[in-house]
Amino acid sequence: MRFVEEFRDPAAARALVAEATALAAGEQVKFMEVCGGHTHTIYRFGIEHLLPENIELVHGPGCPVCVIPMGRVDDAIAVAQTEGVLFTSFGDMMRVPGSTGSLLEAKAKGADVRFVYSPLDALRLAKEHPDREVVFFAVGFETTAPSTALTLLRAEAEGVRNFSVFCNHVTIVPPIKAILDSPDLRLDGFIGPGHVSTVVGQRPYRFVAEEYRKPVVTAGFEPLDILQAVVMLLRQRAEGRCCVENQYTRCVREEGNPRALAVMAEVFELRPFFEWRGLGFIAQSALALNERFAPFDAERRFAVPAVRVADPKACQCGEVLKGVLKPWQCKVFGTACTPETPIGTCMVSSEGACAAYYHFGRLHRQMATEVGAGAPVPA
């Protein structure tokens, strides 16, 4: 990739839209973009309204912040409020609401909660404060899990004993399978997650094509990436094929990143079950520290409530994460629930579907209305 502009070229976009329109003529198709980064590109650039109405894009559970249930947030707050603890977290998780508040509110009440940009920042704090217990709130799919694993390997090698990890890393394949098994959603294909695929590669998605007969195209995050992925999915349908293809060839390899997968295998093991917001408990869908790294496991080092907490009745994040509802169909979207006063996780994260709709969706719905009334399509 030389220039970003190459992936935002209006003429190329129009050509791809025309091809997609021709390939989908007379059919109603629905594709799910798994990654929240794709959702933001789609609504930031108005892709949903450039495509014909018979091609629908719905979003899936690919935002790592959005899928964390309220009970796990309560557990994190309980650890953060433990005497002597210095709790560290990525910025998005600071505002995610639990049943009694957020980490940001716990910080305001006196807990020592700090933003970090990587787990290595948390390890540095542990070395700078040997008299404190420093905990890192680890979240994310296989994209961020290798950085946590490498940090734990360094902590072990350097003998840093006042550092631990509250592990909430999740894996991408089980929730896709749960969605495919869901009776309330019909899908015709998947736009595969680009970031996760740089680590896991293409092989884990083969079951989608082989067992469920749904095509998958792993895509990048620029507008032309998304449009080309849609065209590739439609070509598969038109040609009677069903396979896993790679649009994001500049970053994703078939085998993924072997070194990253190796360090994950060295540090983590699969949990028997893990609760996902909106999807419930899914078997072997999350990672935990293995026995070798048990001394660095915050869940073993500190007392956590470990209580399942139901989502607020007004919040419909679960339906949004499964692609059953669009965010604007939620009763509290944009009124009681905003990025400043979030009720659900989807409004908090930079990859959340509700945040994407809130920041970009209203403008694009207005644009679609104007185009339907005869206004020119933006270049």
Judge whether residue 323 has pLDDT over 50.
yes
The CB-side HSE value for 67 (13 A sphere, CA atoms) comes to 31
pLDDT in tens, 269-308: 999 999 988 788 999 999 999 999 999 999 999 989 888 8
- What local confidence, expressed as pLDDT, does residue 361 receive? 65
Spans of all domains in the chain: 4-63+183-246, 70-172+256-301
Report the Cα–Cα distance between both ends of the chain, in Å, rounded: 22
Rounded to an integer, the average pLDDT of 113-132 is 97
Other Cβ atoms less than 10 A from the Cβ of 273: the count is 12
What's the token pair of residue 366?
């207005």
35 φ, ψ to 5°? -90, 140
126 φ, ψ to 5°? -65, -40
Fold of 70-172+256-301: Rossmann fold (3.40.50)
Q: Give yes or no on whether 4-63+183-246 and 70-172+256-301 have one common fold.
A: yes
pLDDT category of residue 96 using cuts at 50, 70 and 90:
confident
Cα–Cα–Cα angle for 281, 287, 288, rounded to 5 degrees: 110
281 φ, ψ to 5°? -80, 130
Judge whether residue 1 has pLDDT over 60.
no
What is the distance between the alpha carbons of residues 335 and 12, in angstroms, rounded to a whole number? 38
Listed residue (378, 371, 321, 21) closest to 176, CA to CA: 321
Local structure of residue 359 (DSSP, 8 states): I
pLDDT in tens, 191-237: 999 999 999 999 999 999 999 999 999 999 999 999 999 999 999 99
pLDDT in tens, 330-377: 888 888 888 878 877 777 776 777 877 787 765 444 444 444 444 444
Q: What is the mean pLDDT of the chain?
A: 89
pLDDT in tens, 7-25: 888 899 999 999 999 999 9
What is the distance between the alpha carbons of residues 224 and 234, in angstroms, rounded to a whole number? 15
- What local confidence, expressed as pLDDT, does residue 44 receive? 87
Pairing status of strand 268-270 against strand 244-246: unpaired
What's the token pair of residue 69?
């249930």
Fold of 4-63+183-246: Rossmann fold (3.40.50)
Other Cβ atoms less than 10 A from the Cβ of 98: the count is 21
pLDDT in tens, 51-78: 999 999 988 887 878 888 889 999 999 9
